[in-house]
Homo-oligomer: A and B are copies of this chain.
Amino acid sequence: MTDPIFTYELLKDFSFSIFKKIGCTDEEAELATEVLLKADLRGIDSHGIARLSGYVRLWDKKRVNSQPAIRITHESPSTAVVDGDSGLGLVVAPRAMEIAIKKAQVAGTGWVAVKNSNHFGIAGYHAMMALPHDMIGIAMTNASPLVAPTFSIERLLGTNPIAVAIPALTQPPFVADFATTTAANGKLEILQRKNQKAPIGWVQTKTGLPSTDPNEAKSGGALIPLGSDREHGSHKGFCLGSWVDIFSAVLSGANYGPWVPPFVAFLDPPSDPVGEGIGHFFGAMRIDAFRPADEFKKHMDNWITRFRSAKTIDGEERVIIPGDPERELNELRLKDGIPLNPKVVEDLKALGGRFSVAF
């Protein structure tokens, strides 16, 4: 059985209406919708419209403020700290990235740490905002603790993704966007739905043993940092996840490590917060603060072309340049529509019912 398909326009209108119903301004409902649906278009289905009802449940609990007064609380020529005022991360994050871009226009680079925010959708969206300005974009965020550091059985880090977007001239941009764990949580959710096993190295049991059960994190187990085990460099994945946590939250004054509030509304945030909300970190670097942009972009074309044409292992089709599959899917789904899991459809119908918005 194949999943039902919906047009981008239909999902856009629906999402916009829901964000309006919880009190967002037109402009912010549109922005939140664009960020949210970029995940569906690019095939990161776990972070798209499937999460819409989750955001609404956080709003129900007053953990999301639909009319935030987003403001800079501290700044220097190339930096700022932004207080998201508990707004939707889908709105706070692009606002913060805009500030990074403005700083870069003057100072060469701009770096913005954000506190008091919520889940921001896909990191890639925000990093890619830099591209039309001939800038390199960087985005990262911390997230609810699901990941155990190497040698530990405690969940102290989120899947803490990093995105880096780099423009080219005639080639499409280089866009890396990945969780700093062996596998993103969304990949485990897919296995859970299909009742399939996970490869060894993705999760561990509550006592830290290797496991193939994609549900381990629900029964005290944990996800594993990129690398899978110590022998294969999981301590490096732990370094990366820590780096994201510290830049996103210790620099900004958000909650870090095990204090990060859970995304799911049925779990309460820790009662002893060490900061405000969750944290993000954004960077924008103007290419011509280093060398003429066209010169750089010509070399990026050369870089991309050389790597894409690399000789492959027998049976493998091609070397994948980061961002290629997502961009191709984006084009396809804009044309042919977006498939949604029947459970997601049901959930959206219920959400529409509650707010008298047709789905």
Contacts A75-B108, A153-B313, A164-B239 known; list 18 others, CB within 8 Å: A76-B289, A78-B289, A81-B290, A149-B307, A152-B313, A164-B243, A182-B227, A182-B233, A183-B232, A201-B232, A208-B314, A226-B237, A228-B232, A235-B320, A238-B322, A239-B322, A242-B322, A274-B299
Q: Are A251 and B207 within 8 A (Cβ)?
A: no
Q: Are A111 and B285 within 8 A (Cβ)?
A: yes
A interface, size bucket:
35 or more
A272 to B68, CA, bound (A): 55
A78: chain B residues at CB < 8 Å are 77-78, 107-109, 289
Q: Are B74 and A290 within 8 A (Cβ)?
A: yes
Segment at the B interface, from A16-24, A43-51, A252-260, A338-346: A252-260
Is A266 in the interface zone, CB < 8 Å from B? no
CB contact between A107 and one of B77, B183, B243, B252 (< 8 Å): that residue: B77
Closest to A176 in B: B239
Q: Which residues of A contact B (CB under 8 A)?
A: 74-79, 81, 106-109, 111, 113, 148-154, 156, 164, 166, 174, 176, 178, 180-183, 199, 201-202, 207-208, 226-228, 231-233, 235-240, 242-243, 245-246, 250-253, 256-258, 274-275, 285-287, 289-291, 295-296, 299-300, 302-303, 306-307, 310-314, 316-320, 322
